[in-house]
């Protein structure tokens, strides 16, 4: 059987990052064929190895597993001169280095971008920080903290209620994606010129960029967005509605969809009501519109409404838990889970990389590395 060609092989990635943003970025590179070496502290390793429950049947923390497949492991104590020398030798041969220590830590160890680029000019060096390398260099970069100070919690949660975080460390994930894009762009430049470069991303800037329309409401429109629960600031109806049995999400983005929705609900007159004629009209009168829709939706279960809306090409759906979401994806033929084999014949089941490439798609060659030993091992 011929091995599938990879998009990024034999790219060599040296991963000094921990927790989520950096490991997520390096896992994506690994999925696409890069050879990733994850460097961890001897003994304890990455902080997320201890972030449980839950654990998989082998006793490994599922948090760690979620972002560390397709990597080999290496235990190095960067406070030890011999281990630092090993790290430097590896960096001299690497194509990409990713780190998310506090700004200045790698420089003090002789592993900063200026030192390593001098001996490896082709190196793409990616630094991930919480708040940049200036006045915020000393601030701790935890996702919850950035969601709070970065404005995300101020627009998440019910109107008048307390600020809410997202249900996943979304700032770390977004930062990992931005880091990956930056790395790939730098590699494209290196392929054309032979020059490596420094790629820098920080959690706060990534969050502000990812606030998209809410951010532009402030920067361009002079508006400070606020919490409005499951409603959308610019679209209606675009929220959660109770039904006779369960909740239904409606995400109506244009006039055709709204008219079709009114037909499905048996209230065609709403589409002819001047208050609801256009989307700005519907936003201006969203409370009256929501009351009319709740009255109609209360007559039947959410699943029945979702099926009828789908048939009429109206965006709608029930609210799944995570298990239900995976069942939905499987039922749609999206194959959302991959089984990554371990040397002992077992496998770790992980979410599939969502990128589909017709020639050089993701592969799942290595399970997350085992815990690092107490002594130095060089790969």
Summarize pLDDT for 162-180 with one digit per residue, the tens.
999 999 999 999 999 999 9
Distance from C-alpha of 181 to C-alpha of 198, rounded to nearest angstrom: 13
Tell whether 270 and 187 lie within a shared domain. Answer: no
SS3 329: helix
Enumerate residues 6+ apart whose C-beta is below 8 A from 166. Answer: 147, 152, 156
The pLDDT assigned to 82 comes to 97
**What is the number of residues in the chain?**
379
The pLDDT assigned to 1 comes to 40
**Residue whose C-alpha is closest to residue 146's, from 127, 129, 161:** 129
- The helix (H) or strand (E) run that includes residue 74 is strand 71-75
Q: Is 358 exposed, middle or buried (0-12, 13-18, 19+ CB in 10 A)?
A: exposed
Tell whether 67 and 194 lie within a shared domain. Answer: yes
Tell whether 251 and 346 lie within a shared domain. Answer: no
Under 8 Å between Cβ of 226 and 159: yes
Does pTM top 0.75 for this prediction?
yes
**Residue 43 forms part of a structural domain:** yes
Tell whether 188 and 129 lie within a shared domain. Answer: yes
Distance from C-alpha of 140 to C-alpha of 294, rounded to nearest angstrom: 45
Tell whether 200 and 341 lie within a shared domain. Answer: yes
Tell whether 191 and 56 lie within a shared domain. Answer: yes
**Residue 163 forms part of a structural domain:** yes
**Residue 278 forms part of a structural domain:** yes
Range of the domain at 16: 12-210+337-351
Tell whether 248 and 151 lie within a shared domain. Answer: no
Tell whether 204 and 251 lie within a shared domain. Answer: no
Tell whether 345 and 288 lie within a shared domain. Answer: no
CA atoms within 13 A on the CB side of 227: 16
Tell whether 26 and 46 lie within a shared domain. Answer: yes
**Residue 362 forms part of a structural domain:** no
**Residue 312 forms part of a structural domain:** yes
**Residue 142 forms part of a structural domain:** yes
**Residue 357 forms part of a structural domain:** no
Tell whether 71 and 154 lie within a shared domain. Answer: yes
Task: Give the pLDDT confidence of 197-253 residue by residue, as tens digits.
Answer: 999 999 999 999 999 999 999 999 999 999 999 999 999 999 999 999 999 999 999
The pLDDT assigned to 373 comes to 74
Measuring CA to CA, how many Å separate 279 from each of 205, 234, 258, 261, 275? 32, 8, 9, 14, 10
Q: What is the CATH number of the domain that holds 320?
A: 3.30.1540.10
Q: What is the CATH number of the domain that holds 167?
A: 3.40.50.10540
CA atoms within 13 A on the CB side of 75: 13
Distance from C-alpha of 152 to C-alpha of 170, rounded to nearest angstrom: 10
The pLDDT assigned to 87 comes to 97
Tell whether 28 and 119 lie within a shared domain. Answer: yes
Domains identified in the chain, total number: 2
Could you tell me the sign of the dihedral formed by the alpha carbons of 294, 295, 297, 301, in that order?
Answer: positive
**Residue 175 forms part of a structural domain:** yes
What residues act catalytically?
Answer: 172
Ranges in the chain, pLDDT < 50: 1, 374-379
């Amino acid at each position: 059987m011929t091995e599938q060609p990879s998009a990024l092989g034999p790219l060599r990635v040296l991963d000094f990052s921990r927790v989520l943003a950096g490991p997520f970025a390096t896992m994506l590179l690994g999925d696409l064929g890069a050879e990733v070496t994850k460097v961890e502290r001897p003994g304890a390793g990455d902080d997320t190895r201890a972030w449980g429950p839950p654990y998989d049947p082998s006793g490994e923390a599922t948090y760690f597993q979620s972002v560390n497949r397709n990597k080999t492991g290496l235990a190095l104590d960067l406070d030890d001169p011999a281990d630092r020398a090993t790290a430097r030798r590896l960096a001299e041969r690497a194509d990409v280095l990713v780190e998310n220590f506090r700004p200045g830590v790698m420089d003090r160890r002789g592993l900063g971008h200026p030192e390593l680029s001098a001996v490896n000019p082709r190196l793409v060096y990616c630094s991930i920080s919480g708040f940049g390398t200036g006045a915020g260099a000393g601030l701790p970069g935890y996702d919850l903290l950035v969601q709070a100070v970065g404005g995300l919690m101020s627009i998440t949660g019910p109107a008048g209620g307390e600020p809410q975080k997202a249900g996943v460390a979304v700032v770390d994930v977004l930062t990992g994606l931005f880091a990956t894009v930056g790395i790939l762009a730098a590699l494209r430049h290196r392929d054309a010129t032979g020059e490596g470069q420094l790629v820098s991303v920080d959690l706060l800037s990534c969050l502000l960029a990812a606030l998209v329309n809410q951010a532009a409401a402030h920067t361009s429109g002079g508006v400070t967005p606020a919490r409005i629960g499951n409603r959308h600031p610019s679209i209606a109806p675009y929220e959660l509605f109770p039904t006779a049995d369960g909740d239904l999400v409606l995400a109506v983005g244009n006039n055709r969809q709204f008219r079709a929705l009114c037909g499905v609900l048996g209230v065609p007159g709403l589409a002819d009501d001047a208050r609801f004629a256009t989307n700005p009209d519907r936003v201006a009168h969203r409370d009256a519109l929501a009351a009319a829709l709740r009255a109609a939706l209360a007559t039947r279960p959410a699943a029945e409404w979702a099926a009828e809306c789908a048939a009429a090409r109206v965006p709608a759906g029930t609210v799944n838990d995570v298990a239900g979401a995976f069942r939905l994806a499987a039922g749609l033929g999206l194959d959302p889970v991959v089984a990554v084999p371990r040397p002992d014949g077992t496998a770790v089941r992980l979410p599939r990389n969502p990128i589909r490439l017709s020639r050089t798609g993701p592969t799942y060659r290595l399970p997350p590395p085992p815990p690092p030993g107490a002594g130095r091992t060089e790969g």
